[in-house]
Structure 1
Amino acid sequence: MKRYFKILLLLTVVSTVSLSCEEYLDVSPELGISTEEVFTDYFSTRGALDRATRLIHNYVYNDTDWSSEIGCMSDEMQISRTQFPVHWAMNTGNWLDSGFRDLGGMTYDNVGAEFNGNDIPAEPVSKAFVAIRAVNNVLANIDKLEEFPTELGYTAQELKDQIVGQAHFLRAWHYFTIVKRYGPFPIMNEVYDPSTDFDQPRPTWLEGADWMVSDLDIAINLLPVQWNDQNKGRVTKTSARAAKAMVLLYASSPLMNPDLNPFGSSSKQYNTTYAERAAAAAAEAINGFPAGGYEMFTMAEYTENWRSRTSGFPKEAIIQAPLSQGTDPNGSGRAGQGWFLPQFAGGWLAENQPTQNAVDWFETIDGYDVNDPEAVTSGSFDPSDPYSNRDPRLRASVSVHGDDLYPGLPNPRPGAARTLNALPGGWHYNYENNRNKIWAGYYSKKHKWPGCNKWHRARGWFRMFPHIRVPQLYLDFAEAANEAYGPNGAVPGSSLTAVEAINIVRARANMPPVLAKYTTDKETFKQRIYNERAVELYHEQHRWFDIRRWKIAKEVFANGIWGADIKMVNGQVVYDKKPMEGALRVFEDKHYWYPFPTRVMNIMTQFEQNPGW
């Protein structure tokens, strides 16, 4: 393990230097800059820390950024080309040493290899190692800071507190990026060098969670409620509280509690002690919304979370990836389109399409699950017209058969049909199948802006990727509160119950409160919480982590990955669904955690591989 970290350290140093022109973080005698010179000055210290902020992965930054589209690893999306490594790894169950995309983040060759001077993204885990090293460097030298500007509107103590608060937040956030994929990992709270002895056993996930919470508590104490206009978008007290709630919710989850849910068992118990702590943390964050300036958009403004005519930070975004990209760079006009835009419209040949599984998550406008027989008998759901009378978030997120793919725009140039036609023989059906692609019958819409295609190349839109939004806090609260106190139990520190919290999210979408039949007990209501998360956080890189931490991934995949099956029968369009050929997900108990690469484990002594690998 010591040898592994020596290699990791070398690569992180190299990659950190190459990330930006701000080379003062990794000083050396050859550069002629001393540690004292770097860390005595406020702006150079803040610049060193801001590197860790920029390393929060942004899924919509580069023109073809699809580097970690993980929806296709769950039942949410389906990658259209079976030979692509992500799908190949999932289809065969061969995750070990796959070294590609999200599964390759712990391969130490990737820590430095994918960085270059243009900040082309590496995998989130690779970037997290670099970021944690940067943060620890700042914290180790913070007492050298003595030169503060006077023009920023803050006192010297406030400026120092802001740096320390951001540092502790960023260390917890990047560590969380690692452990939600790979499971327990040694706590990284110092600047490591080749002489450091890393030969140590792994902590438990809960021990790591407690360390993250201690960092976030420091951040909560030191960060401002709001920043001035010069610093909009930096993390706040509410950001740290939101991250704390998320960490504790994960810590309460079945996967993170092997004592309650042993490896290979079907047990799915929550840790109620951590659920209580998660509910309290989420309540604290929610109580801070008004002062922090956070609130939900109306449904008419829903898409402002991801695309806007104005640059900046959406009012729902509590934690947002930096470097939000406009659609103008280099004249391309398609920033970050590679992981959702169809190939015929200018996307990569392996775009990800929504599954029928995902479409079925969206309830009827009356609040019925479409798979509930009462949805049909009550007249709320019409199987012959399945996309009508549905949760408005469906049509805001997914393009379905019969939709105009270019609303409000002139026709595209010859080569693409305007109306989505998923019928056999239809333009889009033929396009996908003639290229030997898996065809789900739907296209993604949530992250597309008007004119996001190779014909119109719309300018003037700005792209954002929030990692935590306001509604997620209500959903985090609802899940934790339900486990600790039941659907309608009082929650200390909050005026909300679990049911009331989820209804706030639904109300924004013009959806009714959860039907009483779905709130009768903890287990019944839990299914609606899971479903509401899938709907509200659709295509925001949450589903894959949720089905793993809930320990339901095996069941989900056993039920199949489905696509639309739309046919003409006696002159009428008939809507059904069918398993997508080639969309199999091989998932065993061992797949709940990513495996550490073989060459890493070959040099370990006390550090243990994840179960089953």
Structure 2
Amino acid sequence: MNNSVKLALATSIILIVFGLPSCKKYLDRPLDANISEKDVFTSFRSFQGFTEELYSCLPDMSKSTWNSEWNMGDDILSTTNANYRLSSEFDNGNYRAWQTGGGGWDNSWLDDRAANTNPNECHDKGLWPLAWYGIRKANLGLANLDMLSNATQNEKDVIRGQLLFFRGFFHFQLMSFWGGLPYIDTVLSSSARLELPRLTYRETALKAAKDFEEAAALLPGNWDNSPVGQATLGNNQQRVTKSMALGFKGKNLLYAASPMMNQSSTGNAGYDVELCKQAADAFARVIKMSEIGESYHKLLPWDKYSENWFTISNYSKHPGYPEVIFGPPTYVGWKSRWSLVNMFIPPPLGGEAGISSPAANYVNYFGMANGLPIDAAGSGYDIADPWTGRDPRFYKSITYDGVRLIRGTANAAYRFANLYNGGNLRLDNTASRSGYLVRKFVTDGCNNTDNEWNNINIVIPYLRLADVYLMYAEAVLHGYGTPQSSHTGSLTAESAVNTIRGRAGVPPVDARFLGSKDAFMSELMRERAVELAFEGLRWHDLRRWMIADQKKYVEKTVIDFDRGSNGKPINLRERVVVTRVFEKKHNWLPLPTSQVNLYPTFGQNPGW
């Protein structure tokens, strides 16, 4: 493998046992006590403490550094003085910036110098080292399950289910960025010569799917309703459940079925129909569990939509309940203000000088309140009044010219967003470069006047139920052939999309998009762009659909306009300011060169 991977995978048992900050909840003795393998692995309490370190291996992609970035597609545009940011490096084709020392001022959540599992720290948690560490730890636990004697069968099942889930999850995370990998399902000796074969994406995904399915059979639908969850009743929201295992089984299989991954595995650039059907089955089971109350997951009502990402609660309430299926813990709530809000608030309001704003080309995906895309006949879109009558999610996600930014009467010059040409928040180098600001993760109280950011806790989820509905629709469409198709006993692809639109008050998909697979897919792709905006999924979607190199998706635009006497924009025009570099090699991130050289039979990704 390589030195850092080998270190993470082959850490000795002693180091792992003594490196368990989360175990203090379960072990009555001090952490510096003499702890043996028997102490750790023979009782449920101590084994669960061992297992819970895996939850601290989950990077919070939005707060892994002071300037973390997780949107690397056509969605975000950084200011001109922030060209060191990861999104800008990716725009320039420098995918080596994902790793420490590769550029991007080391502000990537994908890498760090070590596998930091401190549960009280969100910084310095990189996916690459933590995933390998987590895989090693899961395998170590699975290898010692036979020692678990002081436990009920239910407790043994839950331990095994969590370990299998995390092994599958970390492999999925790695392969979604770096492609097919060896599937590590045993404890490797630190002295072993590592020459494990690199599997195709499909082969790796099938092994992960097996782990997810086995985990689902062992895990409860809701810990609070299970015997094993009674000791921690009311504090089980983020513990791994059956829905989490099935949700990631489906996502893992849908990714493997998608054109880019399928081509890399089989040479076929279409969808893998059989894998789509398997993905649809997993998603259908998640949806069914939600419908019958077997899980606690439900779509949040529209008036609480923003609670998917943030809560205003003095950091005491983790956001996302009950829609978010899985995500990182709240490591340090107050860093939401400094690591995330700062990324989207211009300096006069207390934010960073180098902020990220929505690219205008991406804002165009937000359609009209009647459900139509803005460029569709009959949509009602008016270039002279472009922000009226839009999809309600537009107003939850995007700040446009004239929107109120400060609740009180102080700081009058910045009380409203002045994003027109010459406006005090329209500055290419320090404020909005595009003519828009991100609103999705902030409130109009997040500023240095109202100071609501002092109580905001923001966590970007890995998976929420809305995404499951949309992925189900995609899997059914390509597995069964039409928008009207369904997986046995579940809803149609069309109905799944309409469920998500309906929550926001958007009418069903228009009939003109229901006549063919391609027409419906175009609207489904737009729906994903709107519903899942800025949640770190766009880069994956563009790649797996094999459209990331198309002109429409490489050009990032801004809007230029003046503000008319009636407050509406005049002379509005769209202008390309960035053309993203995307070649075939950009389908995958490069592996660290120094590490590939230590394991030559593993091989670098194509083009790197």
Which of the five TM-score ranges fits, normalised by the shorter chain?
Answer: 0.7 to 0.9
Aligned partner of 2:195 in structure 1 is 199
User: Does structure 2 conserve the Cα–Cα contact (< 8 Å) formed by 1:257 and 1:270?
Assistant: yes
1:507–1:97 Cα change, 3 Å: closer
Which of 440, 446, 450 lines up with 1:452 in the alignment?
446
User: Does structure 1 conserve the Cα–Cα contact (< 8 Å) formed by 2:66 and 2:107?
Assistant: no
Aligned residue runs from structure 1 range 101-500, under 5 A:
110-112=113-115, 118-148=121-151, 156-228=152-224, 229-258=234-263, 262=267, 268-290=269-291, 291=293, 292-309=295-312, 311-312=317-318, 313-323=320-330, 326-327=333-334, 336-375=340-379, 380-406=380-406, 409-413=407-411, 417-429=414-426, 432-433=427-428, 435=429, 439-458=433-452, 459-500=454-495
Separation in 2, partners of 1:534, 1:42: 43
Separation in 2, partners of 1:586, 1:345: 33
Which deviations, in whole Å up to 9, do the C-alpha atoms of 1:141-181 show, x marking residues without a partner? 12212334xxxxxxx22122111111111111111111100
Which deviations, in whole Å up to 9, do the C-alpha atoms of 1:245-296 show, x marking residues without a partner? 111110110111126885xxxx841111111111111111111113212211
Which deviations, in whole Å up to 9, do the C-alpha atoms of 1:50-94 show, x marking residues without a partner? 1111222224557x6543x221x2111112234314245324323
Aligned partner of 1:34 in structure 2 is 36
Shift of 1:481: 0.8
User: Does structure 2 conserve the Cα–Cα contact (< 8 Å) formed by 1:36 and 1:144?
Assistant: yes
Name the SS for the 1:576 alignment partner: strand
Name the SS for the 1:566 alignment partner: strand
Aligned partner of 1:578 in structure 2 is 574
Separation in 1, partners of 2:603, 2:158: 37
What is the aligned-residue identity percentage? 30
Shift of 1:385: 0.7
Separation in 2, partners of 1:218, 1:539: 32
Aligned partner of 1:153 in structure 2 is none
Aligned partner of 2:559 in structure 1 is 564
Shift of 1:187: 0.5
Shift of 1:524: 1.1
| Structure 2: segments with no counterpart, 5+ residues | 225-233
Which of 508, 512, 517 lines up with 1:522 in the alignment?
517
Separation in 1, partners of 2:83, 2:439: 25
1:345–1:38 Cα change, 3 Å: same
Count of matched residue positions in the alignment of Structure 1 and Structure 2: 581
1:103–1:608 Cα change, 3 Å: farther
Which deviations, in whole Å up to 9, do the C-alpha atoms of 1:192-250 show, x marking residues without a partner? 23222321321011111111111111111111111112423212111111111111110
Aligned partner of 2:75 in structure 1 is 76
User: Does structure 1 conserve the Cα–Cα contact (< 8 Å) formed by 2:349 and 2:414?
Assistant: no
User: Does structure 2 conserve the Cα–Cα contact (< 8 Å) formed by 1:42 and 1:145?
Assistant: yes
1:49–1:343 Cα change, 3 Å: farther
Shift of 1:104: 6.3
Aligned residue runs from structure 1 range 44-59, under 5 A:
44-59=46-61
- Give the letter aligned to residue 531 of structure 1: R
- Give the letter aligned to residue 213 of structure 1: A
User: Does structure 2 conserve the Cα–Cα contact (< 8 Å) formed by 1:18 and 1:116?
Assistant: no
Separation in 1, partners of 2:310, 2:384: 33
Name the SS for the 1:574 alignment partner: strand
Shift of 1:371: 2.0
Name the SS for the 1:258 alignment partner: helix
Shift of 1:589: 0.7
User: Does structure 1 conserve the Cα–Cα contact (< 8 Å) formed by 2:20 and 2:50?
Assistant: no
Name the SS for the 2:403 alignment partner: coil
1:47–1:114 Cα change, 3 Å: closer
- Give the letter aligned to residue 368 of structure 2: T
Aligned partner of 1:505 in structure 2 is 500
Which of 592, 596, 601 lines up with 2:591 in the alignment?
596
Return the TM-score normalized by structure 1.
Answer: 0.87
Using the TM superposition, name which of 95-104 and 82-91 deviates more: 95-104
- Give the letter aligned to residue 428 of structure 1: L
Separation in 2, partners of 1:359, 1:337: 20
Shift of 1:494: 3.0
Separation in 2, partners of 1:472, 1:504: 11
User: Does structure 2 conserve the Cα–Cα contact (< 8 Å) formed by 1:474 and 1:501?
Assistant: yes
User: Does structure 2 conserve the Cα–Cα contact (< 8 Å) formed by 1:518 and 1:524?
Assistant: yes
Shift of 1:19: 7.2
Separation in 2, partners of 1:259, 1:577: 40
Shift of 1:538: 0.7
Separation in 2, partners of 1:20, 1:241: 29
Shift of 1:576: 3.0
User: Does structure 2 conserve the Cα–Cα contact (< 8 Å) formed by 1:235 and 1:318?
Assistant: no
User: Does structure 2 conserve the Cα–Cα contact (< 8 Å) formed by 1:223 and 1:236?
Assistant: yes
Separation in 1, partners of 2:12, 2:443: 36
Aligned partner of 2:228 in structure 1 is none
1:511–1:338 Cα change, 3 Å: same
User: Does structure 2 conserve the Cα–Cα contact (< 8 Å) formed by 1:115 and 1:121?
Assistant: no
1:445–1:119 Cα change, 3 Å: closer
Aligned partner of 2:230 in structure 1 is none
Which deviations, in whole Å up to 9, do the C-alpha atoms of 1:97-120 show, x marking residues without a partner? 76247996777x733489797452
1:289–1:353 Cα change, 3 Å: same
Using the TM superposition, name which of 494-503 and 453-462 deviates more: 453-462
Return the TM-score normalized by structure 2.
Answer: 0.87
Separation in 2, partners of 1:294, 1:113: 30
Name the SS for the 1:564 alignment partner: strand
Separation in 2, partners of 1:210, 1:450: 45
- Give the letter aligned to residue 447 of structure 1: F
1:15–1:453 Cα change, 3 Å: farther
Indicate yes or no: 2:547 matched with 1:552: yes
